[in-house]
């Protein structure tokens, strides 16, 4: 069977070397969509929340995702060296599959949510658009595979949410992610719901062109 998700190569080898040196499930993966530009205030609140949580973290900073001057960003990066690592871009799929990743801070877009579920990673949702807010509420309240972080950017809320998810306090959360992972993989296996729907679509297209 082909993989559920394709894997692209992470270009930053230092990033993978750093992850390889971390304990299993000890690192929070932070990746906010590059269309969701963080303000300077949001960036500093997130930075303080990450550092104060005392948890390891890998922060993917897409080129246009943070509105900061180069010198300010350099100071942030230097301040992260003890507990964290920052890269300009990376593949969600490959990094989420790494054994060191134990949590995923995302804005809640559907692709990222699916990737987190498939790789059995508990999620923290920090939505920045209306559709992400819908996803975030549904995933945290109905499927219960993550925690919805308050939309206002507050370092104390960020710190507490990270500690709750990375501290494995919520065993139901971990079990729910694992359950949804199995269902997702089953759906794309031969005979699964997604497999059947795609097969029917292909057959319909073939019939239309006969």
| Domains of the chain by start residue, with CATH | 13-208 (3.40.50.2000)
CB of 163 closer than 8 Å to CB of 55: yes
Q: Are strands 56-60 and 101-106 parallel, antiparallel or unpaired?
A: unpaired
Closest listed residue to residue 31, CA positions, set 116, 99, 100, 98: 116
**DSSP tag of 53:** T
Average pLDDT, the chain: 80
pLDDT tens-place string over residues 173-205:
888 888 888 887 787 777 777 767 777 777 777
How confident is the model at residue 128, as a pLDDT?
81
How many percent of the chain have pLDDT more than 70? Answer: 78
Inform me whether the pLDDT recorded for 9 exceeds 50: no
Angstrom CA distances, 112 to 73, 82, 99, 201, stand at 25, 27, 18, 25
Q: Decide if pLDDT at 56 tops 90.
A: yes
* pLDDT at position 160: 92
pLDDT in tens, 113-131: 989 999 999 999 998 888 8
Predicted local distance difference test score (pLDDT) of residue 3: 41
């Amino acid at each position: 069977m082909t993989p559920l998700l394709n894997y692209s190569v992470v270009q930053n080898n230092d990033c993978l070397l750093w992850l390889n040196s971390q304990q299993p499930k000890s690192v929070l993966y932070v990746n906010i969509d590059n269309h969701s530009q963080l303000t300077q205030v949001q960036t500093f609140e997130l930075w303080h929340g990450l550092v104060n949580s005392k948890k390891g973290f890998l922060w993917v900073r897409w080129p246009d995702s943070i509105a900061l001057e180069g010198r300010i960003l350099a100071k942030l990066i230097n301040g992260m060296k003890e507990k964290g690592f920052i890269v300009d871009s990376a593949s969600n799929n490959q990094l989420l599959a790494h054994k060191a990743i134990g949590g995923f801070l995302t804005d809640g877009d559907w692709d990222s949510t699916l990737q987190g579920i498939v790789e059995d990673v508990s999620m923290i949702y920090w939505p920045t658009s209306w559709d992400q807010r819908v996803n975030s509420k549904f995933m945290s309240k109905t499927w219960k595979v993550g925690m919805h972080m308050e939309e206002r950017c507050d370092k104390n809320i960020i710190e507490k949410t990270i500690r709750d998810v990375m501290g494995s306090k919520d065993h139901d959360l971990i079990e729910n992610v694992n359950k949804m992972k199995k269902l997702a993989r089953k759906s794309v296996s031969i005979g699964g719901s997604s497999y059947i729907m795609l097969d029917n679509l292909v057959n319909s297209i073939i019939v239309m062109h006969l």
